[in-house]
Structure 1
């Protein structure tokens, strides 16, 4: 099969969102500052769309669901999340995001925004960004997310406009290497979409959750709708699990390279989860999960520390004695994953942003179903 020319997609952004942003910046002498101001407004105000009319035009033209949406498939995907959501949110941190970090050029954008990592390595911006990302996933996957009562459309529009503002102020800052492609280009967006979509399906299988072909296609279909809403072009937003996974792997293999940015982001990710999970019994679990779910080559690219000898056996023994169970190696791993994911979500559910009085929220029906 002929190789795709990715350079075309690395020079392509989101025409609708970028045109809207340019229109917003007309008449502002300090356009770069205005773009940064808009970005900050989007990230620091949960009700930004309700509190101002400046986004009304953008909301109107980007709110339409695609005509090919299949609500039966959406319902199936939401039921998967209802059942396995604690695993899915764990995979977000230990498969989806780190896989994106293996893409060296895309990782540079995440560091360049200054939101995930600060010079003093403060945890606050890291926590805020990762909690926001997790909340986004909950919002698009929860029951009725795409109905009038849900928030899937509005949170997708917010992400789309945030991407455009980042694209603008990084591109215009004078500190961006254009050989990397434009920031948050179509290839990067499509790869990230698959890290949240078909890669999660693969990760569930790694954890012993075997979905049917219908369920796999349904889960990918929901995220294909999200891709439409955030501005991924149809050519890079395929239908069906097999097609989607194939595209994702093609992108990851094309972009995979060792980078300082990827290593910094991975270290920040490990710090984040250790911060969110109280106590020290799970301290090395983030490293364990990265090795189990990412594989040796990706872990080497991201500079993931090696596992302490016999840590896994020690942890399974501690959990097993506490609960009076015996575990095989694989069921022991599943037990560790289950306990860690619950501890992680409880920690996040109790976390408040200091600067915007907002809270990470899991719907009550899900906290009950996941035994949190």
Structure 2
């Protein structure tokens, strides 16, 4: 049963196959090539590996198949659900899912040290949004682009692991950088936490769509290098694993707070005025809850809870009409 997995054990595991490929690539092409490769790995428009080293092309061929639990009907339901709720899911991603990931203090250190998010938050947020749109686009599955998209992320994670482990800044007491526990937790942030966010905003989700969304993200997780035996088999197991990870990993840290501050700064910059910016920030506090919002250092605003409730209720009603 996946809910009984030893999270302490898998915290010491990365993604061996992808990590081995990156080591071999550095041996063949040099460290400078790996640095030059990273922008390509972050680009979900250019999906051709034709001009890349043969070792990467071979790795793609070896990882271009679905796991046994892939279900096409679930995929159709999941991508339909995303398309119908894309705006809300995008909002939840920025205000809830990403800061939820930052609560894992030890895992957040990888993001902090790499400076990819802290120093260029807007670009990285855009990359994350583009990834979400890409994996939730049914055409990318039917045309088998999904294998390239996920492999790019998998190789990007392995590259970050390589640089992190060779930086002399990493303490293994924090676990392996971008380890199996953190990867699993991130996957839940993009699946379970999105569904939870929808419910907190007042939307009712049919169980068939709920299960389909979780199943599809399990398939995505598999393609990203998460060990399939560690993934939850149903909604109850998903909730239990999320709770266990939160109890083990969520705590206040400088790294988590600085990552969140950078994220909030970018999100507030999207707003046309300070009132809207405060509304977005208060929405994040509402979704996370007071305890987690305080841990991440998200300040209170002048937006009263009653106004936020009215806003959310109105948004749900309008969505039903239009």
TM-score normalized with structure 2 length: 0.90
Deviation at 1:71, TM superposition (A): 0.5
- For the structure 1 residues 80 and 3, does the alpha-carbon distance in structure 2 shift closer, same or farther, using more than 3 Å as the test? closer
Q: 2:239 aligns with which of 245, 260, 266?
A: 245
1:323 counterpart residue number? none
Indicate yes or no: 2:152 matched with 1:158: yes
Q: Where is the helix percentage greater, Structure 1 or Structure 2?
A: 2
Indicate yes or no: 2:311 matched with 1:332: yes
Deviation at 1:48, TM superposition (A): 6.4
Tell me, yes or no, if the aligned pair for 1:39 and 1:166 is still in contact at 8 Å.
Answer: no
1:362 counterpart residue number? none
Deviation at 1:135, TM superposition (A): 1.0
Tell me, yes or no, if the aligned pair for 2:22 and 2:159 is still in contact at 8 Å.
Answer: yes
Indicate yes or no: 2:115 matched with 1:136: no
| Separation in structure 1 between the aligned mates of residue 37 and residue 202 of structure 2, nearest angstrom | 43
Deviation at 1:37, TM superposition (A): 3.3
Tell me, yes or no, if the aligned pair for 2:202 and 2:316 is still in contact at 8 Å.
Answer: no
More displaced stretch, 286-295 vs 220-229: 286-295
Deviation at 1:144, TM superposition (A): 2.8
Deviation at 1:280, TM superposition (A): 3.6
1:275 counterpart residue number? 269
Deviation at 1:287, TM superposition (A): 1.7
1:346 counterpart residue number? none
- For the structure 1 residues 338 and 171, does the alpha-carbon distance in structure 2 shift closer, same or farther, using more than 3 Å as the test? farther
State the Cα RMSD in Å: 2.7
More displaced stretch, 258-267 vs 54-63: 54-63
- CA distances 1:218-245 after superposition (whole Å, capped 9, x unpaired): 1101101100100000122122222122
1:145 counterpart residue number? 140
2:25 counterpart residue number? 24
1:93 counterpart residue number? 94
Deviation at 1:75, TM superposition (A): 0.7
TM-score normalized with structure 1 length: 0.79
Q: Which has the higher contact order (CA 8 A, sep 6+)?
A: 2
Secondary structure of the 1:11 match is: coil
| Separation in structure 1 between the aligned mates of residue 79 and residue 137 of structure 2, nearest angstrom | 6
Secondary structure of the 2:48 match is: helix
- For the structure 1 residues 337 and 276, does the alpha-carbon distance in structure 2 shift closer, same or farther, using more than 3 Å as the test? farther
| Separation in structure 2 between the aligned mates of residue 152 and residue 191 of structure 1, nearest angstrom | 21
Structure 1: 5+ residue stretches without partners: 119-124, 317-328, 343-370
Tell me, yes or no, if the aligned pair for 1:42 and 1:48 is still in contact at 8 Å.
Answer: no
| Separation in structure 2 between the aligned mates of residue 309 and residue 211 of structure 1, nearest angstrom | 28
Q: How many residues were matched structurally?
A: 319
- For the structure 1 residues 334 and 162, does the alpha-carbon distance in structure 2 shift closer, same or farther, using more than 3 Å as the test? farther
Structure 2: 5+ residue stretches without partners: none
2:219 counterpart residue number? 225
1:256 counterpart residue number? 250
| Separation in structure 1 between the aligned mates of residue 85 and residue 39 of structure 2, nearest angstrom | 33
| Separation in structure 2 between the aligned mates of residue 223 and residue 297 of structure 1, nearest angstrom | 27
Deviation at 1:50, TM superposition (A): 3.9
More displaced stretch, 162-171 vs 62-71: 62-71
Tell me, yes or no, if the aligned pair for 1:104 and 1:257 is still in contact at 8 Å.
Answer: yes
2:48 counterpart residue number? 49
2:289 counterpart residue number? 295
**Structure 1 residues 54-69: aligned runs within 5 Å:** 54=53, 55-69=56-70
1:39 counterpart residue number? 38
| Separation in structure 1 between the aligned mates of residue 316 and residue 35 of structure 2, nearest angstrom | 39
| Separation in structure 1 between the aligned mates of residue 239 and residue 138 of structure 2, nearest angstrom | 25
- CA distances 1:165-210 after superposition (whole Å, capped 9, x unpaired): 0001111111111111111000000000000011111111111111
